[in-house]
Structures are given as C-alpha cells and as structure tokens.
Amino acid sequence: MIYRYTAYSSDKKIVNGTLESTSLEMAEASLYRAGFKRILKLQEVKSTSFDFRKTLFGPPKVNAQALLDFTNELAILIESGLTLLMGLRQLERQTTNGAMKRVIMQLAADLQGGTPFHKALAQHPQVFSETYCSVIEANEKAGTLDAGLRQIAKELKQQIDLKSQIQKAITQPLIIIALAIGVVILLTIVVLPPLVDVFRQFGAQVPLTTKILIGFSDFINNYKYMILLVIFLIIFVLALLFRNPSTKRVFDRIILDVPLAGELIIWHNTARFTRTMSNLLRAGILLPDTINILLRTIGNSYFRDSLVEVRRQLIQGQSLSSAISRNKIFPQLLVEMAAVGETSGELETALSTVADYFETKTEKRINRLTSLLEPALMIGIGLVVGLVAISVISTIYGLVGSFGG
C-alpha cells in the first residue's frame, strides 16, 4: 500500500512524500526510523484501478541485480554532472524492472518534497538495507554521493557473485540427486509392478536384490498417500522449527561444527561482516554503530550473538582486535589484521583485505567441493540405477531360461 505523509524533519522542516508499506503502523514506524521527529499527516493513497497481479502474487520485489544496476547507473549519472533528482528521473524513464521503477518514482517524489536521499531510501527497507542507507547518509553529508554509490555497488557485485557460486554448488548436486530418485521411482512403480505379477504367476526364483526391490515397490504402491502425507508433515514441522528463534539458534550452533560446512559458514560470515564494516568505517560511521547495523544483516544467530559480545566490549573501551580475540569463532587472521589496522590507523583497509581473502577462500572451497561432489554423485547414482536395472533384467533372463528348460 502507498501512503502519503507530511512530517517534521530533524532540522524542523516540513517534508511531504510517499512511501510503500504493508500497514499504517508499519508506515509510521518507517518514518520515525528514517529520522522524522513528528508526523503531521499520514494517509493511504487509494488506487482507482484493480491490480490483479499484485492481489494474486503480492507486491513485486526488487532483485539484487536490479538494485545493483540502479546503484551503478545512478553513480554514473551523478558523475556525469546531473543532479540527484535529474538522475532519478532519467532512471525512472529507462528502467524496465517494474518494481524498481515504482521505487524510483517514489524516491524522486520524496526528494522533490524535501526529503533527504538517505531518508527516502530508508522508507523502502524491503529494497535498501540499513547498510545501504547508512553509507549513503554519510556520503550525502560529505558531498561524495557518487563515491558512496560506487562503494555500495562494489559490495553488491561481490555479494551477487558469491551467492551465485553457492547456488550453483547446491543446485547441480540437487538436480542430479532428483533425477536419480526419479529414475529409481519410475523403475519401481511403473516398470517393476507388471513384471512382479509375471514372476508371481510363474513362481520364478528371484535374487535377493530383486526381492528387496519388489518389497520397496509394493510398499510405495500400497502407502503412497501416507508417504506423501509424512513428507508434507516433515517439511511443515521443519519450517516451524526454523522459524522458532530458540530452535534456529541451536541449529546454527550445530551446523558450525559440521566438517566443511561449518568452516564455509564461518568464512562466508567473516567475509560479509568485515566487508560491510570496512565500508561503514570508510563512510565515517563509528565502530560500535557499525556493529549495530551488522547485527541486522548477519543470518547465523550464533555468529550474531558473538558480535553482540564484541560490541559490549567495544563500548567498555576494548579494541576490536582484543574483543574478537576472546571468541574462537573469529579466524585468527582477522584478529591479527585488525591489530595491524588499529596500529597503523587503517582499520578499514585491513578489514577490506580480510574480506577479499575470505571471499576468495570461500569461492575456491566451493568450487573444489563441487568438482569432487559431482563425479562422486554420478558414480553413486550409476551404481544404484545399475543395480536396479541388473536385478530386473537378471530376473527376466531367469524367467525366460525357466521357460526354455
């Protein structure tokens, strides 16, 4: 839903604008979070047309690539000499992504109504993260908005590339496994039952592997609806458990101890938080405040709890290297580089170096695991499918041989 507002900004100016939110209460919370001191008027803008797509599928979402394109193109337009408002109007005309176009229209309207750019961005939390808004705020005040946009675009590009690598590593094995399961189910449900009737009719002697397959086929055919119900219930229960913060925290802690997977998660989270912290520090945001922002971006709850403890020690006067050295979840390289950065006064550069290292390390490990996993899966699947096929074919040959005898 779209809401039109009139509010007092922090510098006591009256600002008019619009924002998108799911409810009046959420819209009000977004305005206060954006820094407005008092809301004079806030009401929903009634649409005169029925949006079937939005009603059926919900509001359109801006994907990461569309956000990256917007950030890069806006930086280019500002560097070329256009004002921010002119740049937004230009992007509004040339953007083909419908969801992004609507966001840009609202940003331009808010900017024209007197809203600072970072506050206009903050009114779209589903698109622009708190890190994004914080970097823009710092650079907007310093008059280096184009540099801030370039900085954000670089981080977004790195996040997209890494996410693509992870998705590729997960998707390919899943496709192979799904195909293998499909072939086995096809053989045991479609091909095997008619043959079983023939075997039983003629009393053919079948090997143990074929007996197991026949039992498996009978079980699936007799209890297929019950099996589907159990699978659905398992998925439903797991979804509920992962939504529960206490259960999720236990799972997040356990997965860190899983060989290979736990190490990858630590590397990935280390790369993400050091990259974000480096960007925020470079934008002029204080170290404890960067931790506050990071706490809302880190997915693993155990890692997040560790950052809470780091923030507490920073407030007490500890250095970053000292604070993170007390928790074993943080790699030793991070501790050493943070100490070097604090000594040299170039902490943001040291953190950026750490982020580069662990991003590269994560990508290499994912590629290596993928290259090893795919042949292993193919061999395993070939053995299973081959065993099923040989069991069926050998029984058929045995049956034919008994006819000949």
Question: Other CB atoms closer than 10 Å to residue 264's CB: what's the count?
Answer: 18
Is residue 41 within 8 A of residue 14, CB to CB? The reply is no
Least confident among 11-20, 50-59, 299-308, 388-397 = 50-59
How far apart, in whole angstroms, are the C-alpha atoms of residue 140 and residue 127?
19
Query: End-to-end CA distance of the chain, in Å?
Result: 79
Q: What is the pLDDT of residue 56?
A: 42
Q: What are phi and psi of 116, to 5 degrees?
A: -60, 150
Least confident among 146-160, 260-274, 291-305, 383-397 = 383-397
Q: What are phi and psi of 299, to 5 degrees?
A: -80, -40
Q: What is the pLDDT of residue 18?
A: 76
List, for residues 343-371, the tens digit of each pLDDT value.
Answer: 998 999 999 999 889 988 888 888 887 77
Share of the chain above pLDDT 70, in %: 89
List, for residues 124-180, the tens digit of each pLDDT value.
Answer: 888 888 888 888 888 888 888 888 899 889 888 888 887 887 777 777 777 877 887
pTM beyond 0.85: no
Is residue 265 within 8 A of residue 255, CB to CB? The reply is yes
Which helix (H) or strand (E) covers residue 341, if one does? helix 332-344
List, for residues 178-221, the tens digit of each pLDDT value.
Answer: 887 787 777 777 777 777 677 667 666 666 777 777 777 778 77
Beta sheet of 14-20, edge-to-edge order: 14-20, 2-8, 38-44
Q: What are phi and psi of 16, to 5 degrees?
A: -110, 145
Domains of the chain in start order, with CATH, are 2-128 (1.20.81), 156-405 (1.20.81.30)
Helix axis angle for 224-243 and 245-255, nearest 10°, is 90
